[in-house]
A and B are shown apart, each in its own frame.
Chain A
Amino acid sequence: NAGVTQTPKFQVLKTGQSMTLQCAQDMNHNSMYWYRQDPGMGLRLIYYSASEGTTDKGEVPNGYNVSRLNKREFSLRLESAAPSQTSVYFCASSETSVGETQYFGPGTRLLVL
């Protein structure tokens, strides 16, 4: 039982490049989330998926897209990376989206030059 896994662990991009961050959970959770964490800013919600087949914007969605591929997998795509997207990205999951504990993956450190 691996919990929430994320790939890659670390990535360096040049401005304008694209990439997809992968996330998978094996806890049969319905809801999944993508956060970014910047120094002094705490965790900010980018997108979430309350259940398979649905996605919604969070606090900071601009410059990102998501896909809920199936119940296990939720990917985050940067179409044209910008230096402002340099951050640590965490994927999380919860049994449902209503007041439930979230379980976090190990994070992806992204540097955009």
Chain B
Amino acid sequence: QKEVEQNSGPLSVPEGAIASLNCTYSDRGSQSFFWYRQYSGKSPELIMFIYSNGDKEDGRFTAQLNKASQYVSLLIRDSQPSDSATYLCAAPSGGSYIPTFGRGTSLIVHP
């Protein structure tokens, strides 16, 4: 079992809807959580970073942490076709301070 788990999808949502992406982690000691976006054929780029002390909103993106259930969510409001990409969740795990990446969730926003 991977230490950071994501549903591979694809998650398909209509344009303008809210896309909800989830990620579970196994290390209760994780203090920081990352969401990266990766377009097909491109490299990952950071879109959200939260600490264990609270949720974070940045424009259309909101990252929420549920420490009791050990999952972190990424909400994308007013989804656009340009949001279609794979979203990678990462968190330090297994006692390492280097983030472990999940396998990613493919998001498709259709017009």
| Number of chain A residues whose Cβ lies closer than 8 Å to a Cβ of chain B | 21
A residues lining the B interface (CB < 8 Å): 33, 35, 40-45, 48, 58, 90, 97-99, 101-107
Partner of B97, one of A42, A45, A98: A98
Q: A99-B92, A104-B44 are in contact. Are A42 and B104 (CB under 8 A)?
A: yes
Partner of A99, one of B42, B97, B101: B97
Enumerate chain A residues within 8 angstroms of B97, measured Cβ to Cβ. Answer: 97-99
| Number of chain B residues whose Cβ lies closer than 8 Å to a Cβ of chain A | 21
Task: Give bound CA distance, A41 to B2, whole Å.
Answer: 10
B residues lining the A interface (CB < 8 Å): 2, 8, 31-32, 34, 42-46, 49, 88, 92, 97-104
CB pair A90 B43 closer than 8 Å: yes
CB pair A42 B88 closer than 8 Å: yes
Closest to A39 in B: B103
CB distance from A61 to the nearest CB of B (A): 13
Task: Give bound CA distance, A36 to B32, whole Å.
Answer: 22
